[in-house]
Amino acid sequence: MTYTMMHGKLHRATVTEANLNYMGSITIDEDLLDAAGILPGELVQITNNNNGARLETYTIPGKRGSGVVCLNGAAARCTAVGDIVIIMAYAQMDEKEARALQPKVVMLDEHNRPMKVRSHEKEREIG
| Catalytic machinery residues | 25, 58
Q: Where are the alpha helices (DSSP H) in 1-127?
A: 30-36, 95-100
Instruction: Quickly count: other Cβ atoms within 10 Å of residue 92's Cβ.
Output: 11
CB-side neighbour CA atoms (13 Å) of 88: 14
From the list 87, 18, 76, the residue with the least C-alpha distance to 47 is 87
